[in-house]
Structure 1
Amino acid sequence: MNKIMIVGHPTSEYQDVEALLVECGMATALPSRREGLTPTEINSMLIKAHPAADRSAFGLVRSLPQVEAGPIWNGMALDLMLGNIDQKLWGWADPHALQLLDYWKKLDPSIAFVLVYDSPESLLVRSSDLGLKLDALQERVREWCSYNEALLHFFYRNSERSLLVHAQQVRASASGYLQQVRARINAPVDLLLEVPRDNILIGDAHHDVTIQGDASATVLSAMSEAGAIKRFLAKTLIGDYPEVGQLFEEMQTAANLPFITPAAESESVHRAWRELLAIEQAEASYHIALEEQEADFAGRIDDLQVSISKLHGKLADVQQENLIQLQTLHEAQERGECYRNELLEEVGRASQLVEFESLAEDRKKAIEKLEQQMLEKEVLASAAQQKLSALIERNSQDSAHILQLERDLSALTKESAQSRVQRRDMEAALLYAQEELERSHIELQEVLEKNNSTSAERSETDERLNRLNLQKTEAEMRVAQLDSVRIALEKRNGSLQREVNSLVERIHQMQEEWEGRMPSSPASVAKRQEHYGAAERVRRQLSYRLGATMIKHSYSVGGWLTMPLGLAKEAKRFRNEKEHRSKEKLPPIASYRDAPEADRMRRHLSYRLGSKMLGNAGSPIGWVRMPFILRREVKAFREERSKKS
């Protein structure tokens, strides 16, 4: 595997040297296998990692400082070699690798170096950023000298592995150059082939000066070979720096392929003079052509001005004709407007006559229609009179029926009031019995807690409780009977009330029909119903029923044992009743006439015990605390009763 590294000043046209090798069989360097870096990128990273070597301008020393890269950086170069291991001959060019020549020489002994230099005047011929400033020119000359001195110094130290060649001479004698490269890298003959003379790169054309602007074809053809003037002036300027000439002569002496000055080179001054004369002649021809074009343009401008004046005259004549035609058109429009007004007047008179005739015909038809309507109204009046008499008779019958219904309604209202009074009395008796039962229960519990009562007292207490239970049962049955009677009376009262309302609405409709108006929405004449039974609503609640069940099962030891089962049955019974009454819509208890009775029921021990049980049944801690809470509620109830007594 053979490798070639090409290094030269950026203005030395080292690219042509590389292109010639590529044309003759050298492969371009492939990126590294792992990181994918090109040799130029690896050089840039090495220079960047060593700031002492990163310099924008080359110094004035004999040899620029070489980069001393440690072994840690050899991995990138090794990866590059692995990426190109399948290529027999490959290489790359990098003008910025001057300070890395020792690094690559030590890294791989098989690398051959091609060092490219060029004539000093190429520094000015191929540079476009110097302008006319003398300081910039001096700085660029010092940089060129420093670069080529370092290049020559490396060649002296490594002449067995490097070639020092002149770029223009490589283009002029490609075969000799290729033979030296082949001998230097010890490559077989078939790796670098001879190239026909026609394919040798000749790069002088792109150094020629091009004249910008609108010059004619004659001027451009005369100035296409005007590079001799630029080269002569550049050589004259470089002549002010003798160190440049000395360095160039030293490189010519040491070079493997120095630049051979052709015989025609001695006539460069005469060629520059001829090119200058050609430029002046072309410029004179260009000025003559410009004067001819200017004269031609002046004649054309005069012709255009004459044409414009003629067009202005024609335009004035056309405008005058347009004014005359416009006046004629206005006169014709005025005459047409007069004719139109006269025609409209005639049409108006004719239309008035037609309207008068149509009005007379319409009036005649209207009179006939009015006579027919009068006859129809007479027939309707007789029918309405008959209907009125029938309505009056029917109204009298409905009035009598309404009076009878109102009397029945008043009687039912009185009967309902009496039943409500009786029910309230029974509820009061029932409440009194409930309170007595609770009081007896409390006294019985006090006696049982003391455990010092006699058997006679216990039997007397049991008889008393039985009597109270019987009284409570009878009172509940009586209340249920009264509720059924009350419900029947309310149903009958509602039906009578609806019948009365329908009759009143019917009378209103007949009156509106007679007066000829559309019936409006019927007004509600029903009186607000009064609701009773707030205490019964509270007694049906789950809290009251659970509390009553607890009191009922607390009279004996067996009752205490069966209390959980009794509470579960009562809760199930409540859910079933609630499902049956799901469609029943009852007003709130606060709207009942006997709402204070509901508040009094909520102060009973049954309701209070059931409320505490439901409030603490939602959590395990509540069930643990429930016996103590219920006992505290019973104690609070006793204290309230003792304060009242």
Structure 2
Amino acid sequence: MKKILIIGHNQANNEHLESLFQKFGMNKALPSRREGLTPIQIGELLNKVIKLQVSQEKSINVDGVSLPKKLPTNISKRRFKKALSKRDKNFSTASQMIPKSTWDYIPMDLLIANVDNEFWGWADKNAIDHLEYWKEIDPSILFVFAYDHPESIFFELNNRKEIASKEEIVESIKDWNEYNSKFLLFLEKNPDNIIIVNNERLHQQEQISIKSICSRVIPDYIGKNNGMSIPSYSEQREYRKLPSSLSVIVSNIISSFPGIASTYNKLQDISHLPFYNSSSENTISIDEHIDAWIDANLRERELNSVLSLNETLNFQNKKYDAKLNLSNKEKELLISQVYNLQEEIEKVYLDNSKLKKINLDFSKKDKAYIDELSKKDKEINNLNKLNLKLEQDYSELEKAKERISDDNKLLLEELYVIQEKMEHNLYSDTKRNTTCLVGASNIIRNQIKYKLGALMIKQSKSFLGMLTLPLQLSSTYKREIKLEINNINNLEEYVDFYDAEKLKKHLSYRLGDVFVQNFNNPFKCFILPFKLIHTSFDFKRKIKK
């Protein structure tokens, strides 16, 4: 199982190198099983622990006394040096500052989560502070260090929206030197399992470089996969370079920092994939000076063209200003004339406004009289229309009443004949089925709903019967409600159950049902006649269909 930790000052280049390894077959690191932390999150946690330990252990105690800048008289130099050496041992490496019993389980849990990965890794710029810790946790881990030329610092600053200050430039250069110096110190103590590559070489010769790196990283993995070919990359990123004029200036700035050049040269000497220009590393070639001069000359010419254009624009602006002054004077004359005309117009307007007010008063009075007359005419017309409509509605209601009464009589006569035939048929059927349980239709006929409906149909055949119908319905309801049988047999047990269901659909049963539902409610009694008429009409309409 191969594990790779990619480090370098530029995290974007580290992630690009990680993607190249992933295209070649490296798996992405799985998060830890328990907390679900990624390797980068674990690195951030380790850095916090290191900073906490450093802040807690900055003071040196000798016999329980915290040492100030000037030693007290009761502390000797020998004891002070002994305390210093003890502190240096405690802070020699970042891994010794981490309490192992507390924090070791987190990276160990990450390694256990990826135990099934034959080839995996991650890229983390901030892992430079705890490389020795990872080395102690897993001695087989392989470190791939990707470094850049110091000129890359100025490329990043040049691409920023805001112009970098002098302090930011100096701080960026020091940060680059400090980062790479930390790696060189780690390399002196741990020369094994480390591969150093130049990002510019990697970008310009990507196919060859990644093949060379992978042959060093995973020779056993390639042996197991002999049939696997080197993947081809259609996308070739260009290495970031500054313009020639800026490159010359940057070279002079870098040369003023003596530690920068020596650090970069050390990395070049020990690199597995270094990058060398055709010209000398420490001097700037004539071509670069010429390119810088050409670039500066072009910029100067562009500036001169801009200045000449600015002069022409200023000359044209002066002409426009002169024309504008003339137009302003003409405008002032026109404005004065307009003011005079406006005063005359205002006088005429005041006179007209007075006349308009007088006319308006008369028109308002006339309009009030006209409005009153029109309102009265409208009211009279509306009353006439309403009266005519009421007369028409009344005549239509009378006709509808006569038509409804005629239809009602015919319908009741027809229904009564049908009801007698059905009762006769039902009676004959019950005689033939004497051995079975019969009489469901008789139970329905003896119910108060059916009797009340039959009474309505019978009384509606004569005018005298219609007059006495309310009294007869009331007396029949009071008499039959006392004799109503509550506990009767289940109608479904009778042979003529379906005949009984048909009787419920008769007009007699429906009329009686409507009467029983509305009779006891004093409010519904007023609309009871209309409901009875509606029920009879509905029954007649269904029969016609």
- Using structure 1 for the length normalisation, give the TM-score: 0.42
If you compute each CA radius of gyration, which structure gives the higher value, 1 or 2?
1
- Using structure 2 for the length normalisation, give the TM-score: 0.49
Identify the structure with bigger relative contact order (alpha carbons < 8 Å, sequence gap 6+): 2
